[in-house]
């Protein structure tokens, strides 16, 4: 479940993406525009239009910077996922090596107890059954783990593609609103208040559209949960089959020893 939590935090990127929204609602730049336009002026060119070019450059620069930070966050995320998977693989390999050593020791002791030909044959059959059961469970575990990782990687990639497109559309819409405001100022320098009102309304619409797309972040989390549930179910099935195989092998061995006494 920890893996699911990490995934949901990584895939949504709500913090980084929503910071883009905050930038164009009433952020530092918009507040500056608001304060400049809050006073009546008799100048031919309104304060909004006078500072439009500079403020537009500030907004564009911050949007580009935040977009770069989102990309870096995704890179860091990918590196973390790879590191986590490597750690899991290392732990699995170590646990299997320890189990192999312990199993070899136990089988060696069992072989020492076999004093007749029938008993020795029974021990060999038992060893083969145990080794086959161990191999089958490991194969099932590896397949389930691999399927989980492939599905997780695909879900992350798809979400990155979707969010990347949404961010680009968001940025293009903001740039469009800026261009419209600059064109309005160029044609009517003194009409800053009306231009500003239209500009803020455009940004509000852009924000609402972007926010409405954030619902897909929940779907990514659900996908991760489904993948984990499928993997864990495969693990449980493999364990059940393994335990049943062990029981059958043990019963066969016990019967062989009893019949040879």
Tell me the pLDDT tens digit for each residue of 124-160. 999 999 999 999 999 999 999 999 999 999 999 988 9
Q: What domain range is 202 assigned to?
A: 19-79+115-259
pLDDT at 243: 97
3-class DSSP assignment, residue 46: coil
> Which residue ranges in the chain fall short of pLDDT 50?
1-43
Within-domain flag for 110: no
Q: Distances in Å between the alpha carbon of 178 and those of 24, 56, 120, 136, 211?
A: 11, 6, 86, 63, 20
- Whole-number Å distance between alpha carbons of 178 and 201: 12
Within-domain flag for 196: yes
Q: Distances in Å between the alpha carbon of 140 and those of 115, 133, 146, 233, 236?
A: 36, 11, 10, 11, 10
pLDDT at 45: 78
Within-domain flag for 234: yes
Within-domain flag for 123: yes
pLDDT at 90: 98
Within-domain flag for 96: no
Produce one character per residue of 23-47: b if its CB has 16 or more CB atoms within 10 Å, e if not: bbeebebbeebeebbeeeeeeebbb
Within-domain flag for 84: no
Q: Are 216 and 14 in contact (CB under 8 A)?
A: no
Total-model pTM: 0.74
Within-domain flag for 108: no
pLDDT at 79: 94
Tally of structural domains, the chain? 1
Q: Are 126 and 249 in contact (CB under 8 A)?
A: yes
Classify residue 191 by its DSSP letter. Answer: -
pLDDT at 261: 60
Within-domain flag for 128: yes
């Amino acid at each position: 479940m920890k893996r699911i939590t990490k995934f949901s935090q990584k895939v949504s990127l709500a913090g980084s993406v929503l910071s883009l929204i905050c930038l164009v609602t009433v952020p530092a730049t918009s507040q500056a525009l608001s304060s400049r336009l809050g006073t009546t002026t008799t100048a031919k060119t309104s304060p909004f239009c006078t500072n439009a070019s500079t403020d537009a450059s500030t907004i564009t620069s911050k949007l580009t910077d935040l977009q770069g930070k989102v990309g870096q966050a995704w890179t860091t995320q990918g590196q973390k996922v790879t590191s986590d998977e490597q750690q899991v693989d290392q732990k699995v390999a170590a646990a299997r090596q320890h189990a192999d050593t312990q199993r070899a020791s136990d089988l060696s002791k069992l072989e020492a107890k076999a004093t007749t030909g029938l008993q020795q044959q029974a021990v060999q059959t038992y060893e083969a059954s145990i080794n086959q059961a161990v191999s089958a469970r490991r194969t099932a575990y590896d397949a389930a783990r691999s399927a989980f990782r492939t599905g997780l990687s695909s879900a992350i990639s798809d979400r990155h593609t979707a969010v990347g497109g949404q961010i680009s559309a968001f940025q293009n819409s903001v740039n469009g609103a800026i261009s419209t405001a600059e064109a309005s100022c160029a044609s009517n320098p003194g009409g800053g208040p009306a231009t500003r009102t239209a500009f803020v309304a455009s940004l509000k619409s852009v924000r609402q559209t972007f926010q409405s797309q954030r619902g897909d972040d929940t779907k990514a989390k659900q996908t991760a949960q489904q993948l984990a549930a499928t993997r864990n179910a495969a693990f449980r099935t493999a364990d059940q089959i393994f335990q049943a195989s062990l029981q059958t092998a043990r019963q066969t061995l016990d019967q062989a020893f009893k019949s040879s006494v």
